[in-house]
Structure 1
């Protein structure tokens, strides 16, 4: 087809981490402006992908060189003279994340937004990609293919279809008649058969909710690394980054399945049902919406829930993980500073650019969004006497906006009220548009109550009942978070450390004249009582200082969910409907 954009991607020198790209645009105006996206959908941060582009040249359809000059950070202008134009350039790729691209001697991975220059004039044309892979390497992509050429109906589809090239043998399974491939890089999976079986069950649980899948094939790209965790959703695929050693542990396996569930649920919630503010994507700048809490926080609520529905997590384990999420929220002072709508809107400068002050000034729309969506689910269940739930809200949004037209900024709220049969404006005013405390009383509907306790150890994430039978004596509390040996990474608002004048990046060396590391600093403070004064010796910008701190009392910010003492039959039935397990499986009172 002549009216199409053609790309060729080669990697003749993988150790140089350079993709070599040809991009051919059909004949058009005398001037062609080729541009590079500054961000990729699903990751709301301007990443300036053009910074990795080099050696741009242009030729016409007669093979002669055409003048090309760079106009700004992302634009190359070609004096096309009405001809078809072929751009040749190289892209440096040595950043192994799901949002960027990576090429070395073991494989090549690239996101479209990082490697494919485009023009606004040809954005809606078909796009073709031919991959010149090294010998014995295969190319994997969710796009249809003709030989080694992959076919996208437009640029947006291409950008939403990452490529993996390497000497891989994929794992396979089928869900609702749809073939799924799993391509793993970095190490072998400890139990590939179990991995596929568990992933299949998670995907099947989601397909049941929507009565089928909205695609004809799906591709998982799994990158097992020494550290790091993350995922990026795409229209028919996902890229997952996960620490390889964690798969050998029960908690790690569970975490991997929740990551799978999260990115797979985006097939509906953000890839097809998306905020109207993102339609169409503007690749040149930030795209603002107040709804990320619903699309990312909502997906975070469902990721654990689908592992539970797949029968791969017990109800008590699910509630423990939910309690950990509540605990993390309650240890974030920024929840009293930033609303969920603002957190969504300014994700471009807050969530993806955290610093030492972020916990004091912001709240994650993933974190609080998950908690709010759990409450919203229970609110709908209570209002309808368990006839309907958040699943019905999601299906209604799918029915109305699954064509990609986009959800208006008030669309989630209106759909929730419609399904609940009551006006939920007061709920959204408090949960989404306010920085006040959330109302957890709705858990009584399923025979549970939200309880708080003091954390019993530095690694106590909450989610479980107190381990100690009696109330421990009050321990002294400094209130800092640490990294490395004993460097203060965050000094949260409302802590003794902040009031005394300890700063992020302070390097603590001693307490009351005795040398300490990070663990020793915390434990020695806990050996003392609230109200006692300690002397913290530290280096601040290479200057030795001694700062007196009056220790406080640890806050009760570890959250767990327990059974009410005298549940009604209705509460037990509501719990069974919610989590598909008897109410008696949940933790009892302390």
Structure 2
């Protein structure tokens, strides 16, 4: 049996934000290269975790110092001489996100990729982690354990198992016969009983799709903060970051459930069914695939759908949220510049590194991927007279690639064609491999159609019909930009009046037509004018006062909502009920 790699993690001074780590590698290597990943699976950006390592030294089996030097940004080379080596170091952890690590007086949280040096020679050995926690703190991790030591069969599973250490009392529930724990940091939830009950219903709804759960236990790590939202999936756990105030509202509670449903669905879709390009992970550099839209976009489609299937969201509410998603896509000019396949491939330099021009040049594979998967599900249902759907494609992928062997780049398309017996090449050519507008006509299969209206304000997300107004609705003036803070331009949209006039991001607002203006009232004051009117916008650009004449355009009708088609047929009603599990009598009036 191969000898295990052993880690010891302690935190003697939590307020220093420093984890103290010892990594003991078994004998056998003459020269040992201990390396740290530059990224973590599920978050496709090179984050250079080694920048947080300090005070790195190495000793032999009798405690004698061994020569160590840094070869490159992530590699520490030790002259081991075939003997066991212990590398000691500290890791600065003061970034509270689901993909990094954080340590202070209230808790410790870490992702393995940020903390654990490894060697390629021992990557497939068993890895054991012993956590030395401050008094009164407990350690939570989805790995199997012996006391305070947690055991991973290899380095990949270790990296895929985050740790939370703190004075927490977990919540628990059982779903589909599998025990689940919920560990919460940052605040208490307003209704713990409701939280576990809702999570249980979502987990069991997903388990029904795949006829059971693929793990022996599961761990939710929940971080309630002042702001921020995100999640990171793992093989048997997830980390969820969510604003604590959000749980006090119905919309916020719903958002939290969709976030949890999203990460839980990754148990199958990417943690086990994964791109072949990720097998094995290369932790030293980017791992490229054109399929992230299928893994993240499809998961985004199913997160709302499973909250609906769990009975925690009405069909009407689901359609409203769907309209909001369509609106967000339609309001992103980058959909005309970047294909969905390229958005997946270039996530390493695009999605996780947005700038002021990103809305013009790129599209989120989460966002467009979700919309494409809605349309794909309905196309499959239409092609098979509602006998099959995207669920059947997922089950096929689970049977074929659920062992972790990896799905080839053409695997998604091939599975759809196998399930339907139809050639779906034209659909994928349009939706995934081109920048042409999507075809929403398939919505008619379930009795729906898209309608467009002008947004009522900058906070209008679409999804709902226009408010009823008395009298004629006058066209509104439009600048074509977004703002940030109190007085700064954030993005100037492609082909907009503002771009034609020469305005640019980071211009600081001063006045409109000679009167003081800020971000809060700039757009509304322009909307009070008519298309074709000329306004004078005064700004500071790098501390220089400048004035621009802008000929206002007409505010576009880019908010989308869903309505039922005229003369709804019995077949459309049946298809709708098969899709959303609701009758038309309880939906859209």
Per-residue deviation at 1:2? 6.9
Residues 52-201 of structure 1 correspond to what in structure 2 (within 5 A)? 52-201=52-201
Residues 361-376 of structure 1 correspond to what in structure 2 (within 5 A)? 361-376=361-376
Matched, 1:526 2:535: no
CA distance in 2, matches of 1:378, 1:149: 48
Q: Could you say what secondary structure the match of 2:365 adopts?
A: coil
4+ runs deviating over 4 angstroms: none
Q: 1:508 corresponds to which residue? A: 509
CA distance in 2, matches of 1:111, 1:471: 57
Residues 157-306 of structure 1 correspond to what in structure 2 (within 5 A)? 157-306=157-306
Q: 1:550 corresponds to which residue? A: 551
Per-residue deviation at 1:519? 2.0
Q: Is the 8 A contact 2:225 2:244 kept in 1?
A: yes
Q: Is the 8 A contact 1:447 1:583 kept in 2?
A: no
Q: Is the 8 A contact 1:323 1:561 kept in 2?
A: yes
Residue correspondences, number: 588
CA distance in 1, matches of 2:497, 2:261: 40
Per-residue deviation at 1:110? 0.4
Q: Is the 8 A contact 1:152 1:158 kept in 2?
A: yes
Per-residue deviation at 1:472? 1.3
Consecutive unaligned residues in structure 2, runs of 5 or more = none
Q: 1:434 corresponds to which residue? A: 434
TM-score by length of 2: 0.99
CA distance in 2, matches of 1:11, 1:238: 23
CA distance in 2, matches of 1:79, 1:177: 50
Q: Is the 8 A contact 2:10 2:21 kept in 1?
A: yes
Q: Is the 8 A contact 2:270 2:295 kept in 1?
A: yes
CA distance in 2, matches of 1:69, 1:401: 42
Provide closer, same or farther for how the CA distance between residues 471 and 349 of structure 1 changes in structure 2, counting only shifts above 3 A. farther
Provide closer, same or farther for how the CA distance between residues 573 and 81 of structure 1 changes in structure 2, counting only shifts above 3 A. same
CA distance in 1, matches of 2:152, 2:39: 20
Per-residue deviation at 1:456? 1.6
Q: Could you say what secondary structure the match of 1:342 adopts?
A: helix
Q: Could you say what secondary structure the match of 1:86 adopts?
A: strand
Q: Could you say what secondary structure the match of 1:297 adopts?
A: helix
Per-residue deviation at 1:29? 1.9
Q: Is the 8 A contact 2:2 2:126 kept in 1?
A: no
TM-score by length of 1: 0.99
Per-residue deviation at 1:584? 3.0
Per-residue deviation at 1:471? 5.2
CA distance in 1, matches of 2:125, 2:160: 15
Per-residue deviation at 1:522? 1.0
Q: Is the 8 A contact 2:2 2:125 kept in 1?
A: no
Q: Deviations over 1:402-431 (max 9, x none)?
A: 000000000000101111221100000000
CA distance in 2, matches of 1:436, 1:584: 35
CA distance in 1, matches of 2:87, 2:433: 48
Q: Is the 8 A contact 2:127 2:151 kept in 1?
A: yes
CA distance in 2, matches of 1:463, 1:539: 37
CA distance in 2, matches of 1:422, 1:556: 36
Q: Deviations over 1:230-262 (max 9, x none)?
A: 000000000000000010011000000000000
Q: Deviations over 1:479-515 (max 9, x none)?
A: 1111111200011112111111110000111100010
Q: Could you say what secondary structure the match of 1:213 adopts?
A: coil
CA distance in 1, matches of 2:585, 2:350: 42
CA distance in 2, matches of 1:584, 1:278: 46
Per-residue deviation at 1:62? 1.9
Q: 1:420 corresponds to which residue? A: 420
Consecutive unaligned residues in structure 1, runs of 5 or more = none
RMSD: 0.8
CA distance in 2, matches of 1:2, 1:295: 34
Q: Deviations over 1:414-467 (max 9, x none)?
A: 101111221100000000000000000000000000111111222110001111
Q: Deviations over 1:237-288 (max 9, x none)?
A: 0000000001001100000000000000000000000000010000000000
Q: Deviations over 1:523-564 (max 9, x none)?
A: 110110000000001100000011110000011110111011
